[in-house]
A and B are shown apart, each in its own frame.
With several copies, the nearest count.
Chain A
């Protein structure tokens, strides 16, 4: 789960990281009022669950409250990578001397939370990483010991020459790790971590992704979920325990397992069709999930056919079959449904479908070809 900049800043502030003040707003009028109360130059920043806000025009400097209002009226309602901007964050403009990059994520290879820091922060950090890898200092944090003070200091030593700034930077790095752990994050990032001309280190941007598996034990973090900028299908899918991504095709896919779901989409494409979505109904499926999946798929007017590809392991074929039968009783589905069902409890599942008037394939290749054919009809 991604959280907004302003939410990540709340988490950072709670961990003691120096973050300039600021307020979130949903209308140009509010933005003007906030800018007035801050006084001086402000920055108006789109709050949206995606990177690339700056390049998309979602971050603007304003000399006065009126200008802040004008910027806000352009930014609010703008679309950034398919997400609609419904909130902006208003914060004072800072007197920046240097811009550093500080990030931490759980690295797959080392299986440790891993820090990356660079004195060359800012929007071109990925280019720095690619072309000047020596400008990035990395540190694996041993999860058995956590972040040790000398390690934070060692990282901060890369960022600054002035010992007073190094000390502040080390403190921020330690606090970022605390916030990362306490938030159950999979990634936390400050870019840029600035030093001001007055010699203060501050986080003027904040990004954080939370590990979805941590939310059950962190209700205060789970409450940060904001679905206002995402398509309703994604919200509904998540609420039903499904994994869903909307695509542009016309073959509605309902598959168990992310790998098989991707392979199914790949095969639809291979046979000349276009998948309408990625949809993984996950393990231990129950009828309600299938109902939700069908509601989401059938809401897309482009969809011409519904393709089930189920290979039972922990998901039992009888559960899925029951779900399909139940769902087709609850919703009036006018589209053709093709079903492939094999694996655990396959016979019971096929019998349930047969009793309800459905016939099921056992070959993935056949069912995908059939679905593409029906979509083109």
Chain B
């Protein structure tokens, strides 16, 4: 088992003809992901040339792509100016999961796009996230496939490359993964730590979870409380940014709303107080997982 994506994932790539979109579509196809359609307005009717002579039909709209292929998931590589609209188009097309890779989407546009997806019961991952990989099953996004392996560990992270780091360590230690999820580092993200923890708790194949956070916000603190209240499986944590200097802050609004400075110390404390083993170095993460599973 896995969470969010698996062998039955039928993927549409929005922005399939762009530089990043085409590169990563090939990588996803090479990994065995069922890429059933691409969408690039104005290029409907053309074909995308994938690896091994495989081709993917291109459509003008998500509506047509889903109608023709029965896709259930989309991934978005379109430029920031069009990404929020692409998310809403996907959310209206019938897919159940929208993975938004694009970085730099205006936050106010995302507030509307997230509301739009919520209205329709569609899950968004990201934006500004590396995506998901369920090793041996499917990959949606940009996570490098060569570092993952099948196994019992669920990984969820706010960071992109730091996730790769942790997964790389796990794999090197022989600890494969059920699913690795990069939830993204933007202020407004569609799927958060708690959503993923809940899914990992419900997934019978996941035996332990790695949660990688960073400074800013209070998502990690809420996730820690969730772990204590609802998780039976061991969770190992890491927080990046212990040495980050305090920023020059403008205004009081941020502090008033969160009641928190969002420091690494706060988050490490929240993890430890709620039974989450915290790694000091990225290299220690895999060892703590191994110990938890022993």
* Contacts from A to B (Cβ < 8 Å): 2, 49-51, 81-83, 101, 103-109, 111-114, 116, 125-126, 129-130, 136, 138, 142-145, 148-151, 153-154, 157, 163, 166-167, 181, 184, 186-187, 189, 191, 207-209, 211-214, 216-217, 245, 247, 255-260, 262-263, 265-270, 275, 278, 282-284, 310-316, 342-344, 346, 363-365
Chief secondary structure at chain A's binding surface: mixed
13 of the cross-chain contacts (CB-CB < 8 Å) are: A50-B249, A103-B252, A105-B254, A112-B111, A148-B85, A166-B60, A213-B106, A247-B245, A284-B19, A311-B161, A313-B144, A315-B161, A316-B23
- Report if B185 contacts A (CB, 8 A): yes
- Report if B130 contacts A (CB, 8 A): yes
**Chain B contact patch, size range:** 35 or more
With A105-B254, A275-B243 known to touch, is A259 a contact of B158 (CB < 8 Å)? yes
Cα distance A51–B250 when bound, in Å? 5
Residues of A within 8 A of B254 (CB): 105, 187
Chain B 173-214 interface mask (CB, 8 Å, partner A; 1/0): 000000000000101100000000000000000000000101
Chain B 19-38 interface mask (CB, 8 Å, partner A; 1/0): 11001100100000000000
Q: Which of B19-69 contact A (CB under 8 A)?
A: 19-20, 23-24, 27, 41-44, 60-63
- Name the CB-closest residue of B to A121: B252
- Name the CB-closest residue of A to B41: A153
The tally of CB-CB contacts under 8 A between chains A and B is 240
Residues of A within 8 A of B7 (CB): none
Least Cβ–Cβ distance between A104 and chain B, in angstroms:
7
Residues of B within 8 A of A255 (CB): 161
* Contacts from B to A (Cβ < 8 Å): 19-20, 23-24, 27, 41-44, 60-63, 80-82, 85-86, 88-89, 101, 103-108, 110-112, 114-116, 130, 142-144, 146-147, 157-165, 168, 185, 187-188, 212, 214-215, 217-219, 238, 240-245, 248-259, 280-283
Residues of B within 8 A of A263 (CB): 159, 162, 165, 238, 240, 282
Task: Check A207–B243 contact: CB distance below 8 A.
Answer: no
Least Cβ–Cβ distance between B291 and chain A, in angstroms:
18
With A145-B88, A311-B164 known to touch, is A157 a contact of B253 (CB < 8 Å)? no
